Amino acid sequence: MEDLQSLARLVETGMRLALPVDYAGVSMAMVHPLIERGISDLDVVCVPTGGLQVDMLVGAGVVRSVETSAISLGEAGGAPCFNRAVKEGSILVRDATCPAIHTGLMAAQKGVPFMPMRGLIGSDVLRYRQDWKTIDNPFAEASDPIVLIPAIRPDVAIFHVPMADRHGNVWIGRRRELAAMAYASAVTLVTAERIVDKNLLSDEVTATGTLPSLYVTAVAQVTRGAWPYGLWGEYSADTQELMRYAREARTAQGFSAYMAGFGEAE
């Protein structure tokens, strides 16, 4: 079993990082170790949307680009550091749409260079994505334009789950996007609420919701590791804390003050 700092040491400057949607299991506990590591120019891929974790990494200045279908703090409003960075032009935003991110990860999972998807044609989402291409469906008799999404192959995926076993298997339940992230990524770092002694693969009931250690690089145990987000089946989101962040991070100074306290709280 590793600690948070040794997980963070596997993330290098310039890497492409896959991070999950706010309800799926966000490893908020990894935010500080990542920032303290002194890396920069991360390319973040939100699967398929982002929130507090991405906003904090952007605010700390370690992010070069964000690929996302949306980013917000949910009920607590817009993502303050992200919105500031957009206005200043200090990060590159690759606006996407949720299924395009899933499609890109699926291509990586299958080891193919791209996958087609419907929709998109005529949108500005497509117009601004020079890396997406429209072709004519080669199997159709009449003209049938369709968009190709290149494989998204993150260097590192990071997420939080309720439990892992001593063999490095992690339980993701029905949150299959976590498996999709891991299948597509070179390295997968997982934080878990608890470590169980039994092998999660030895019981058919837990095995179906388990991501096997084949795809897991390292696991660290941390209690309430998704806070202030919630973790499915475990605890709900701390909306008051999200609101407090939204208020304080309205300015760069307020953000720094908040982050100093956030590090100590853990």
Partner 1 sequence: MSMIQPPLPREILICTIARLLDGVRHVAVGASSPIPAAGAMLLRALKERVGAAPVKISILGSVEHNFFTNGSTELFDCAGQGRIDAFFLGGGQIDGQGNINLVGVGDYPRSSVRWPGSFGSAYLYFVVPRVILFREEHTPRVFVEKVDFISAPGTSDEGVYRTGGPYALVTGRGLFRFDRQKGRFRLDSIHPGHSFDEIAEATGFTFEHDAGPGVTPSPDVDELDLLRGRVLDELAETYPEFAAQMRQSLTEIA
Residues that bind partner 1 (CB under 8 A): 21, 23-24, 47-49, 68-72, 74-75, 78-79, 82-83, 86-87, 89, 93, 95-100, 102, 106, 117-128, 142-146, 174-180
Nearest to 259 by CA among 39, 92, 80: 80
Residue closer to partner 1 (CB basis): 5 or 123? 123
Residue closer to partner 1 (CB basis): 74 or 150? 74
Residue closer to partner 1 (CB basis): 32 or 159? 159
Three-state secondary structure readout of the chain: CECHHHHHCCCCCCCEEEEECCCCCCCHHHHHHHHHCCCCCEEEEEECCECHHHHHHHHCCCEEEEEECCEECHHHCECHHHHHHHHHCCCEEEECCHHHHHHHHHHHHHCCCEEEECCCCCCHHHHCCCCCEEEECCCCCCCCEEEEEECCCCCEEEEEEEEEECCCCEECCCCHHHHHHHHHCCEEEEEEEEEECCCCCCCHHHHCCEECHHHCCEEEECCCCCCCCCECCCECCCHHHHHHHHHHCCCHHHHHHHHHHHHHHC
What tokens does 79 get? 């993502």
Residue 65 CB, shortest distance to partner 1, in Å, is 11
Residue closer to partner 1 (CB basis): 10 or 125? 125
DSSP-derived pairing of the beta strands 187-196 and 133-136:
unpaired
Residue 213 CB, shortest distance to partner 1, in Å, is 20
Residue closer to partner 1 (CB basis): 4 or 255? 255
**Hunting for tokens 């390292």 — which residue is that?**
218
Residue closer to partner 1 (CB basis): 109 or 213? 109
Residue closer to partner 1 (CB basis): 128 or 195? 128
DSSP-derived pairing of the beta strands 114-117 and 63-68:
unpaired
Residue 95 CB, shortest distance to partner 1, in Å, is 6
Residue 162 CB, shortest distance to partner 1, in Å, is 15
Residue 145 CB, shortest distance to partner 1, in Å, is 6
| Contact by Cβ (8 Å): 259, 58 | no
Residue 188 CB, shortest distance to partner 1, in Å, is 15
Residue 25 CB, shortest distance to partner 1, in Å, is 11
